[in-house]
Each structure stands twice: as structure tokens, then as C-alpha cells.
Amino acid sequence: MKLTENFFFYPEHGMLDCNTYVVKDSISAIIDPGYSQYLPALLGAMRDDGIEAKDIDIIINTHLHADHYWADEDFKEMSDARIICHPLHKKHYDINVRDVAGFFGFPPVEFKEDSCLDDHKFEVGGIEFELIHSPGHSLDSICFYCREQKVLICGDVVFDQNTGRVDLPGGRSDDLKHSIEELALLDIDYLLPGHMGIVQDGQKVKDNFDFVKKYVFSWL
């Protein structure tokens, strides 16, 4: 689904999947391809918007939990795109890929990145993102903030009237609360989380942060 001239949203399709976002410009990126089982459905939805797998140049992730990155290698084979990770993804790879898999009782799905992002900024064609480290759900959670278009791709840090869980290896409720407090200070028209629905319109985004802080923080 097209959100703006450059941003596209593809809702999760089932268990172990996540919301996927495509940033389209002279260079195009896919953020969180999700679970390989649902790639045919994702590719079909992208095709409806005139986007083919081969149009994607870069594969990136908000964090390395299985439901967000498992399709990275398969999507790379289809598209010849490069997998680019953040330095924090590499630093906490063992915890997020191996320990979390053990938490759920399944073998880890390994992958190999082609290069690493800069610590703080990332450009997709002419679109610049600020990379905001937002721990709490995971140690390596990164939010992609496009200040010019007021878009925040936030992974599992904050949802529509909810937050990501904090009981997985590396999770910590105090860190998540702090991360959300910091994100709430940003000017956002499009809050694009890793699960459930998106939140559009600046006032609705502010109201959502207020709801989360008032009604969800006490449960973390």
C-alpha cells in the first residue's frame, strides 16, 4: 500500500511475520522482509504497487528477531539486493539470533550481511534517515526516522496502543520506556511499527504516545 511518494506499507500475513516497508527512490530499500513462508504474498502485494523484487537494492532490518529477518537471505536470492546491518546488529547478533531462537525452542536461522550501516545516518537515494538506537524490546532495536517526511519506522519499540514485549533475551522495561519517551519528542506524521496497524496524522501519533505512556507503561 502506497503511503507517500516514497514509502510503501505491507501488513504482516500471519504468525512469525511482521509489517514490511519499502522505501522507493533512485535506490530502493526493503525494511524487515519478515518470514520466508510469506514472501510470495509480500511479493504479490509489492507487484500490485508496481514494485518487483529486482527493483530493491538494499535489505535492512529494525532488529534481528526471527519474524523480521528470516526472509533476508531468500529475498536477496530473488532480488540480488545487498543485506546491510547496523553495527548494533552485529554486536548483539548472538543474543538476538541464537539466544532468542533458543528461547522459542527452534534452531537459529543464520545470515551473512554484505556491509554495515553508519552508526547514525542512512540514505536511500535522496531520502535521509536518522538511525535512533531504541533498546528495550531488544538490545539492537533501531528506528529509522525521516525528519523531512516525518516518518518513523520503529520496529517493535512502539505499536498502535501497545509496545513490544520485554521478556525476550536482552529485553528491559526501563530501557523501553526511555526509548518511547525519546521517540515521543519527534515530529511524526507516520508511525510505522513492526506489527499491527500504522498510525497516520501528527495528532493521532501524539495521542498514541500519550495512550501508551498512560495505560501500557504500568504493565511493562
Report the distance separating Cα 147 and Cα 186, nearest Å: 8
In terms of Cα–Cα distance, which of 139, 54, 136, 55 is closest to 90? 139
Q: State the pLDDT at residue 118.
A: 80
Q: State the pLDDT at residue 85.
A: 94
Q: State the pLDDT at residue 119.
A: 74
Terminal Cα-to-Cα distance of the chain (whole angstroms): 32
How open is the CA angle 67-118-144, to the nearest 5 degrees?
A: 50
Domain parsing of the chain, residue ranges? 7-219
Q: State the pLDDT at residue 15.
A: 87
Q: State the pLDDT at residue 179.
A: 98
At a CB cut-off of 8 Å and minimum separation 6, what does 66 contact?
A: 16, 35, 97, 100, 101, 104, 106, 109
Contact 121, 129 (CB under 8 A): yes
Q: What does pTM read for this prediction?
A: 0.97
Q: State the pLDDT at residue 117.
A: 86
Q: Count the neighbouring beta carbons within 10 Å of the beta carbon of residue 7.
A: 20
Q: Given this structure, which CATH class describes domain 7-219?
A: alpha beta
In order along its 220 residues, the chain shows pLDDT tens digits of: 999 999 999 999 998 999 999 999 999 999 999 999 999 999 999 999 999 999 999 999 999 999 999 999 999 999 999 999 999 999 999 999 999 999 999 899 999 999 998 878 899 999 999 999 999 999 999 999 999 999 999 999 999 999 999 999 999 999 999 999 999 999 999 999 999 999 999 999 999 999 999 999 999 9
